[in-house]
Amino acid sequence: MKLMNYCLGNWQEGLGPGSELRDAVFGNVVATASSDGLNFEEILHYGRTVGTPSLHKMTFHERGRALKALALHLTSKKNEFYKVSYQTGATKIDSWIDIEGGIGNLFAMASKGRREMPDDILYVDGKAEILSKNGTFIGHHIYTPKKGVAVHINAFNFPVWGMLEKIAVNLLAGMPAVVKPATATSYLTEIVFKEIIASKILPEGAVQLICGGARELLNFVDSQDVVTFTGSATTGQMLKSNKRIIERSVPFNMEADSLNCSILCPKADPNSEEFQLFIKEVAKEMTAKAGQKCTAIRRVLIPESRIEEVVKGITARLEKIVIGDPREESVRMGALASRDQLREVQEKIEELKKSSEVVYQNKDFNLVGGDREKGAFMAPTLLLCKNSQAIEPHSVEAFGPVSTLIPYKDADHAIELANRGEGSLVASIVTHDSSFARKMAIDIGSHHGRLYFLDRDCAKEATGHGSPLPQLVHGGPGRAGGGEEMGGLRGVFHYMQRTAIQGHPSTLTKVTGVYQPGGARPESEKHPFRYYFEELEIGQTLTTHKRTITEADIVNFGNLSWDHFYAHTDDTSFDGTFFEGRVAHGYFIIAAAAGLFVDPGKGPVLANYGLDELRFTKPVYVGATIKVKLTCKEKVNQEDREGEIPRGVVKWQVEVTDEEQEVVALGTILTMVAKKSS
């Protein structure tokens, strides 16, 4: 079978015989891949001229809905993906991480887009900056999608997850992608990609696929493009130094394999739950995906006094691991991705042995199914390095089921060893001592992209040392590549341009779709609660009548709320306090404000949805007279759902002032407002 490339809106077969891709379990050829004959310059141009305009027409909510629909479609086809995944040497659990973990990224980002982003094509970042004395000149920041293509160069170990976790964020941002999977396992990427195209959920040009080699692809990227790379640090550095990337200042995000570590707290004795969790976690990370994970534990930092117990504990678990054909029910660890990968890991083990001794390696392991000679099988290998000055454990990575135990003297020594890896994706700290956890966070955080604290309290729900999640950043400094991906909306912003905007508040209100302080607030012709969601205009304002605060108001609210704070009840001495006399409850002021601005009749406003950003800025004393300005601040569209009233959420700025025209309370209330179509 010859793999197909999807480019320029068509499936295309590369010229020539192509590269042979082999089953990692039996060694037989399962496919060939070639990109010969493809015009990479045209591919990028097609993405920019066809994919970019199509995605830019969609709002964040529309893109989010597309991601959800795509996730549901791929879920319905996942059983077919599993069948192919076994050929990569992955067990069912390994495949679950790759396939359903990747689909989970689509679900997660779909939710982020629909719940945390506006139904718009630009995103407003942060709060306004007042740049002038009278507030007629302000600044803000917005994000808009870049007008280029995201080029994703992925690794062989996660042919599905690697693709889906990346396109989830660039598509939500409004940027098309060219996916370049590692050739060795691209036959699994291709079958998933075929379903993406067959679903017809994404607009044309949103995604393209190159299964064969693509060394010249980066020669045609431009300043509006973004390149991401996952793989070895050596390859990543070579790609990052491409002349075109440097000349055009093309953003390049690298996530490289690194020497991640796990640290056992000195207080965790062999009888503690944490000790057992540590042993289990290390053994799991050595064998999951046959150790072929960029987040796998390579360095195992343990107290000097625990060497014997740790070796015994990990060895006992590794001895139980059944290796072989992942289709066999008893198998718990499959093959490496290829024979080439097997040879490379064996070479790296020899380098590590220069300063370390092998404490576990069963070369005569029983193979259940598969082909020992043609497949890419190896047993887990555990080493011990007692030389604290050794270089190899902190510089050599065997990308397979290999870990090195490194004893430490005390907490400071553990910190020094952890940081000698010169940057990693993740470090785990297994401890029930919160002070130890804090010390580690402060002293090794600078060298690690993620810190995973594991103890008895979180163990049942914790996702594991090696599991990056779509809500949190994945990446790390130094050797780990110096980049980051995923991270919820943080990942989306990598594919957008953050731009500072300056001008009059009214102008910036129109630009952002969010009311800016000092902007025009035209009085509403009728009560704002009489307007449907579509009819409301940003800045539309109601100025209420006035209300004078009485002592009875304060007493009655205190009795009703049971809030008898001294400032509301004591009418005698206020020496050493903020107050000059009995003061009204802040919550009474906001309640009284609601009494002034709420229109009581049945209408488009369906319900009070909540309260944000409430501040009490000035005490309100007996005899003060307040009034309210209610301003339409922002409109958040909600998806129409069967059986429910079509609606959106409207954010209203509530500004309460006193008789001196000074603001005494400021907040944002949210209401559910029906759409006119209902």
Q: DSSP labels for 298-355?
A: -EEEEEGGGHHHHHHHHHHHHTT--EE-TTSTT--B---S-HHHHHHHHHHHHHHTTT
d(CA 486, CA 105): 9
Q: Residue 251 has which token pair?
A: 């953003």
- Output the pLDDT for position 220: 95
- Output the pLDDT for position 298: 95
pLDDT of 529 strictly over 80: yes
- Output the pLDDT for position 678: 52
Q: What digits encode the pLDDT tens for the residues 225-272?
A: 999 999 888 888 888 889 999 999 999 998 888 899 999 999 999 999
- Output the pLDDT for position 57: 93
**Residue 582 and residue 568 in contact, taking contact as beta carbons nearer than 8 Å:** yes
Percent of the chain with pLDDT over 90: 79
- Output the pLDDT for position 635: 92
- Output the pLDDT for position 569: 83
Q: Residue 665 has which token pair?
A: 């309370």
Q: What digits encode the pLDDT tens for the residues 339-351?
A: 999 999 999 999 9
Q: What digits encode the pLDDT tens for the residues 1-50?
A: 889 999 999 999 888 888 888 989 998 998 899 988 999 999 999 999 99
Over residues 69-83, the mean pLDDT reads: 95
List b or e across 573-611, with b for residues whose CB sees 16 or more CB atoms inside 10 angstroms.
Answer: eeeeeeeeebbbbbebbbebbeebbbeeeeebbeeebee
* 416 carries an active-site annotation: no
* 385 carries an active-site annotation: no
Over residues 196-201, the mean pLDDT reads: 96
Q: Residue 9 has which token pair?
A: 């809106």
Over residues 649-653, the mean pLDDT reads: 94
Confidence of residue 481 (pLDDT cuts 50, 70, 90): confident
d(CA 375, CA 365): 14
pLDDT of 70 strictly over 80: yes
Plot region of 18 (φ>0 → left; ψ -120 to 50 → alpha; else → beta): left
Q: What digits encode the pLDDT tens for the residues 590-639?
A: 999 999 999 888 889 999 889 988 999 999 999 999 999 999 999 988 88
d(CA 155, CA 466): 16
Q: Is 394 helix (H, G, I), strand (E, B) or coil?
A: helix
- Residue from 165, 255, 274, 655 carrying the catalytic annotation: 255
pLDDT of 571 strictly over 80: no
- Output the pLDDT for position 237: 87
Burial of 548 (0-12, 13-18, 19+ CB in 10 A): exposed
DSSP at 523: B
Over residues 209-230, the mean pLDDT reads: 92
* Per-chain mean pLDDT for the chain: 92
- Residue from 294, 485, 632, 655 carrying the catalytic annotation: 294
Over residues 362-369, the mean pLDDT reads: 89
Over residues 140-167, the mean pLDDT reads: 94
Domains recognised in the chain with CATH numbers: 18-255+490-497 (3.40.605.10), 261-469 (3.40.309.10), 521-674 (3.10.129.10)
pLDDT of 677 strictly over 80: no
